[in-house]
Amino acid sequence: MLETPVESHDDSSLGHYCGVAGIRSPSPLDVPSALFYMLFALQHRGQESAGIVWAEGGAHRADRRLGMVSAAADAWLSGRAASTGGIGHVRYSTAGGGGIRNAQPLAVECSKGSVALAHNGNISNSAALRAALTREGAIFQSSSDSELILHLISRSRAEGIEAILREALAPLEGAYSLCMLWGETLVAVRDPWGFRPLHLAEKDGVRYVASETCALHALGPSISQREVLPGEAVIVDDHGERSFFLPAAPRRARCVFELLYFARPDSRVFGESVHAARERFGEALAEADDVEADLVVPVPDSGNLAALGYARRAGIPFEFGITRNHYAGRSFILPTRAEREFAVRMKLHPVPEIVGGKRVVLVDDSLVRGTTSRLIVGLLKEAGAREVHLRLSAPELTGPCGYGIDIPDRSELISNRMSPAEIARYVGADTVRFLPPDLLRSRLAEPSEYCYACFDGDYPCPIRNGEGKETPCP
């Protein structure tokens, strides 16, 4: 669900999990302004907080705020800051909770100088590392697992950025795509499993790093770019760009939800067009279906592209039978379920002239608890739809994610409690069907390179408790 999706705004949703950006220039430029445009393009990855750190006058300056990137426009677009480097972050809290103390980038003065860090991902052994560091006297200022990395850097006995990074990152398990500002040096690192996307670009001698290519597009045309490879650490300083690789992981584990749900449609992640991938998933969904229907209608905006692919493959007309009020606000902050349900009614509006008397295939990307889908199906039937057949362009969610997606515990996932027929009765649909896992894999260029743990329970690397013991996801 992209472009501030509906289901990510209530208790029926998946949560976004952050975006990072970075800049290094051989000569001073207006770094805060450039970071503003990059983070604005990444806003879909987190709306809880936004922040930047940039180098100025031999020191680091920071501005971290709760809320959206747009709230910082006056400050970051002032044009008063001349800098050779900076990093930025938008956050949705997965590990560590919310609040300004967990807003990023985190910036410290330590034995290695001025170091700032922005992190996208989740360290799956963070509880064990935090417990060990606390026993040794470490003091934490936040509850974010990102702070662990700064502690490990500060405590390293190695010399030089490369050696320090090798030592500090060695204990980490799980997902981390990092942007760091080390003095005036820009560092970008992607974990050896390759869970999260990270991209590097160059334009007119300036290097840029971002979670998604849409943030690089915001900088204008004529920008050359490439993916930061799994396990690669890129260092950009006055001498140019160099990189090295961390020890290889046993396998690759790209997060398939980047293509299904999170990344912006105009981005490329893992070498794939997000737009094209979502259309392919919709086509595959139609191939596995034999329902007779009059219209294919997406849940806006999360189901748009899959619905387009479904309609094309099934030969059923595509219609925007639901309109969306983009000014309805953020329903997840409302205190009661009744208020959140009313907020969905404020946000989504079926078009009776389109759906009235019709057999509708309703397409969305995934089903978590089912409460929002229940409301949307009800809205369509109130508007006169004769039948509603709910189709999801992802397989059934059966487990949480240990690597940065805010998926609820197993007990809260509707597919662990109900069969598709029971789900249909619960949400009020005539039928419910999910994309079969084998068809999802068939639409990926390199299916063995992805993580499907939330569907099949095969977790690529361990989730550890505070004693360092491997523990199943809840």
**Domain 272-443 CATH class label:** alpha beta
What local confidence, expressed as pLDDT, does residue 62 receive? 96
Q: Where are the domains of the chain?
A: 7-258, 272-443
pLDDT tens column, 301-351: 999 999 999 999 999 999 999 999 988 755 444 456 677 677 788 889 999
Q: Could you count the other beta carbons within 10 Å of the beta carbon of residue 170?
A: 11
CATH of 7-258, one of 3.40.710.10, 1.10.275.10, 3.40.50.1000, 3.60.20.10: 3.60.20.10
What local confidence, expressed as pLDDT, does residue 452 receive? 97
- Dihedral sign from CA coordinates of 323, 326, 331, 334: negative
Active-site residues: which are they?
Answer: 18
The whole-angstrom separation of Cα 260 and Cα 257 is: 5
CB-based contacts of 411, cutoff 8 Å, min separation 6: 417
pLDDT tens column, 179-238: 999 999 999 999 999 999 999 999 999 999 999 999 999 998 878 899 999 999 999 999
For residues 191 and 121, the answer to whether their CB atoms sit within 8 Å is yes
Residue 221, beta-bridge partner list: none
pTM higher than the cut 0.95: no
CB-based contacts of 405, cutoff 8 Å, min separation 6: 14, 15, 17, 94, 255, 257, 262, 454
What local confidence, expressed as pLDDT, does residue 448 receive? 97
Residues of the chain with pLDDT under 70: 1-17, 93-98, 329-337, 340, 465-474
Question: Which stretch of DSSP H or E encloses residue 234?
Answer: strand 232-237
Phi, psi of 257 (to 5 degrees): -70, -15
The whole-angstrom separation of Cα 70 and Cα 231 is: 33
Closest CA to 354 of 310, 300, 295: 295
Using DSSP's 3-state secondary structure scheme, residue 126 falls into: helix
